[in-house]
Amino acid sequence: METNAVATPENTEIHDLSDVERKMRFTGTVMKISLAGALVDIGVEIPGVVHISQLQEEPVNRVEDVVQVGQEVEVWVKRVIPKKKRLELTMLEPLNLEWREIKQDMVLKGKVVRLEKFGAFIDIGAERPGLVHISEITHDYIVKPGDVIKEGEEVEVMVLNVNRQKKQIKLSMKTLEVPPAVEEDYERQSRPSKKKVEQENKPVEPDPTAMEIALRDAMDRSKDDGKGDPVPSKKQKPSAEDNELDDILTRTLHNRVQSTN
């Protein structure tokens, strides 16, 4: 899941207050305690203030019941104002995602913490887990969320909506998947059409020989010349086209006779 930068206790090179950022983690030493909280030295130019409400999750009546002067404590940066030389710390580990940091369409990784008939609750590091409704788990039809996911499993989700007032987070898993219709369209477009396959498998006819071309041309000319012309009389001499056609037919028959012998 997405997290902000967090400094480890070994991060001792930061001395300038302007380099300190929210949620950074430090190991500090309690310098002073008061009714309102404690001052903790984390190695920067000024000590940080830990308010009594930030010492632990349970209510605190007295600061000295939780920390003592000289004690080493683990703290996180709650707020830093370099211009005012103010540094606020907390001993409560901050959330990976605060409400103001959760945005629509964010893609996060989380863990399935609970399954219900209507959906699954996913821990994304926020104050509360988000809900993936059963209709948002997958594009396929399922009877219950357990058909696809199980508790403890890590999943990738997208934020559909966040309601900060009601503290509700609606998530989706299927929006990160390719819809089946898109896959089918891609496969259908990738497959060659039946007409194309038939054309590719159709046998290729050999090119006609010079004699066949001449024979066809002579026959076409003979047909064209005969359209609308009167039947020639017995005394009429054969035309040049007729002589050419007879000559071609004679040679063709002669060649066939020789090939059969």
Give pTM, 2 decimals.
0.56
The reply to whether 75 and 109 lie within a common domain is no
Query: What is the domain-level CATH number for residue 165?
Result: 2.40.50.140
Query: Is 162 within the bounds of a domain?
Result: yes
Total structural domains within the chain: 2
For residue 192, what pLDDT is reported?
61
Q: Do residues 108 and 169 make contact, with C-beta atoms less than 8 angstroms apart? A: no
End residue of a domain, out of 90, 118, 144: 90
The reply to whether 103 and 171 lie within a common domain is yes
Query: Is 38 within the bounds of a domain?
Result: yes
> Residue by residue, what is the 3-state secondary structure of the chain?
CCCCCCCCCCCCCCCCHHHCCCCCEEEEEEEEECCCEEEEECCCCCCEEEEHHHCCCCCCCCHHHCCCCCCEEEEEEEEEEHHHCEEEEECCCCCCCCHHHCCCCCEEEEEEEEEECCEEEEECCCCCCEEEEHHHCCCCCCCCHHHCCCCCCEEEEEEEEEECCCCEEEEECHHHCCCHHHHHHHHHHHCCCHHHHHHHHCCCCCCCCHHHHHHHHHHHHHHHHHCCCCCCCCCCCCCHHHHHHHHHHHHHHHHHHHHHC
Q: Compute the mean pLDDT over every residue in the chain, rounded to the nearest whole number.
A: 81
The reply to whether 83 and 32 lie within a common domain is yes
Query: Is 71 within the bounds of a domain?
Result: yes
Query: Is 107 within the bounds of a domain?
Result: yes
The reply to whether 108 and 148 lie within a common domain is yes
**Domain limits at 158?**
99-176
The reply to whether 110 and 167 lie within a common domain is yes
For residue 1, what pLDDT is reported?
42
The reply to whether 85 and 110 lie within a common domain is no
Query: Is 235 within the bounds of a domain?
Result: no
- Rounded Cα distance between 254 and 150, Å, is 88
pLDDT digits (tens, 9 = 90+) for 71-117: 999 999 999 998 899 999 999 999 989 899 999 999 999 999 999 99
The reply to whether 82 and 105 lie within a common domain is no
Query: Is 221 within the bounds of a domain?
Result: no
Which of the two residues, 169 and 233, has the higher pLDDT score? 169
For residue 185, what pLDDT is reported?
57
75: region left, alpha or beta (phi > 0 left; psi from -120 to 50 alpha)? beta
For residue 5, what pLDDT is reported?
38
For residue 179, what pLDDT is reported?
82
Query: Is 106 within the bounds of a domain?
Result: yes
pLDDT digits (tens, 9 = 90+) for 173-230: 999 998 876 555 555 666 666 666 566 666 656 666 666 676 777 677 666 555 545 4
End residue of a domain, out of 126, 157, 176: 176
